[in-house]
Amino acid sequence: MKRIILSIAAMMCITLGMAQNAKMPDNINLKSLDGKTVQSSVIQNYGGVVILSFWATWCKPCNTELDAIKEVYEDWQEETGVKLVAISIDDSRSAARVKPWVDGKDWPYEVYLDQNKDLARAMNVGADVPYTFIINAEGEIVWQHKGYQPGSEEELFEQVKAALK
Amino acid sequence: MLAALTMAGGASVMAQGLLGGQVTGNIQLDGQISRRDTVIGSEDVPQKLLSNARADILYTNGNFSAGLRYEGYLGPMLGFRPDYEGQGIANYFVSYKTQNFAVTAGHFYEQFGNGMTLRAYEDRYLGIDNALRGIDVMYRPFRGIILKGVIGQQRYFWESRGLVRGVDAEVSLNELVAAWNEGKTRVTLGGSFVSKYEDNSEVILADVSGFKLNLPRNVATSAVRLDLAHGGFGLQAEYAHKSQDPNDLNDYIYREGDVLWLSASYSKKGLSANIQAKRVDNMGFRSVRTEAYKEMLYINYTPAISKQHTYAFLSMYPYATQSMGEMGVQGDFMYKFKKETLLGGKYGTDIHLNASLIKGLDTTRIGGRGTDGYTSTFFGTGDTYYGDVSVEVSKKLSSKVKFAATYGYVVFNPIIEGHAGDIHHNHVVVGDLTWKINKKNSIRFEAEWMGSDSKYDAAVDDKRCGDWIMGLVEYNFTSAWFVSVSDQYAYKDGVGNYYNVSMGYTKGATRLQVGYGKQREGIICIGGVCRNVPASNGLTFSLTTSF
Amino acid sequence: MAIVACAMVMVSCDKIEEDNYLIFSGAAGQWFDGEGVADHSQRAIIEKYTGVRCINCPDADQIITAAVAQYNGSLIAVSIHDSSVFTRPYGSDADLRCADGDIWSHYFGVFDAGQYPSAIINRTKVGSNWDLFTPTSGVNERVDNIINGDADVAVAVAAELQNDAIDITVNLEMLQQVNDELTLTLLLMEDGIVTIQANHEGKDSNYVQNHVLRDVITDVWGADVDCNGAAGQKRVARFSYTTFREDWNLEKSHIVAVIGKKGTREILNVAECEID
To which H or E segment does residue B361 belong? Answer: strand B349-365
For residue B320, report the phi and psi dihedrals to the nearest 5 degrees.
Answer: -120, 145
CB–CB of C22 and B214 under 8 A?
A: yes
| pTM listed for this prediction | 0.81
The CATH number for A21-164, chosen from 3.30.1490.20, 3.40.30.10, 3.90.1150.10, 2.40.160.60, is: 3.40.30.10
Nearest Cα to Cα of residue C203 among C211, C194, C192 = C194
Helix count and strand count (H, E) for chain B: 2, 31
Cβ-based neighbours of B446, under 8 Å, separated by 6 or more: B311, B430, B431, B432, B433, B470, B471, B472, B473, B474, B486
Chain C interface disruption, residue of B218, B245, B253, most C CBs within 10 A: B218
pLDDT tens sequence for chain B (547 residues): 344 444 444 444 443 445 578 999 999 999 999 888 877 777 788 888 999 999 999 999 999 999 999 999 999 988 888 999 999 999 999 999 998 999 999 999 999 999 999 999 998 888 889 999 999 999 999 889 999 999 999 999 999 999 999 999 999 999 888 888 888 899 999 999 999 999 988 889 888 777 889 999 999 999 999 999 998 999 999 999 999 999 999 999 999 999 999 999 999 999 999 999 999 999 999 999 998 887 889 999 988 888 888 888 998 888 878 888 999 999 999 999 988 888 888 888 999 999 999 999 999 999 999 999 999 999 999 999 999 999 999 998 988 999 999 999 999 998 888 777 889 999 999 999 999 898 888 999 999 999 999 999 888 888 889 999 999 999 988 778 889 999 999 999 988 899 989 898 988 889 898 989 888 776 554 544 455 566 788 898 989 999 8
Domain that holds residue C49: 28-274
ipTM score assigned to the predicted complex: 0.90
Neighbours of C159 (CB within 10 A): 25
B208 part of a folded domain: yes
Q: Is A24 helix (H, G, I), strand (E, B) or coil?
A: coil
Q: Does B149 touch chain C (CB under 8 A)?
A: yes
Q: Which of C13, C16, C24 sits opposite B220 (nearest CB)?
A: C13
Q: Decide if B513 is inside a domain.
A: no
DSSP states along A26-38: S--EEEETTS-EE
Q: Is C15 part of the contact surface with chain B (CB cutoff 8 Å)? A: yes
Cβ atoms of residues A39 and A30 within 8 Å: yes
Q: How many domains does the structure of chain B reveal?
A: 1
Bridge partner residues of B529 (DSSP): B526
Asked, for residue C20, whether it belongs to a domain, the answer is: no
pLDDT of residue B533: 64
d(CA C80, CA C75): 16
Work out whether strand B218-230 and strand C267-274 pair parallel, antiparallel, or are unpaired: unpaired
Mean pLDDT to the nearest integer, C29-56: 92
Q: Is residue B29 part of a domain?
A: no
Q: Which helix (H) or strand (E) holds C112?
A: helix C110-113
Considering only CB atoms, B66 lies closest to which of A11, A59, A151, namely A11
Instruction: Show me where the domains of chain A are located.
Output: 21-164
Asked if residues B314 and B408 have their Cβ atoms less than 8 Å apart, the reply is yes
Burial state string for A32-63 with b = 16 or more CB within 10 A and e = fewer than 16: ebebbbebbeebbbeebbbbbbbbbbbbebbb
Asked whether residue C187 is assigned to any structural domain, the reply reads yes
Domain extent for B183: 109-303
Sheet holding C234-241, edge to edge: C31-33, C234-241, C165-174, C153-162
Q: Is residue B410 part of a domain?
A: no
Residue C106 covered by a domain: yes
Give the N- to C-terminal CA distance of chain B in Å, as an integer. 31
What one-character DSSP code corresponds to residue A90? -
CATH number at residue C258: 2.60.40.10
Are B188 and A22 in contact (CB < 8 Å)? no
Q: Is residue B179 part of a domain?
A: yes
Residue A158 to chain B, least CA–CA distance (Å): 12
B213·C23 Cβ contact <8 A: yes
* B50 inside domain: no
Of B43, B68, B57, B54, residue with least CA distance to B127: B54
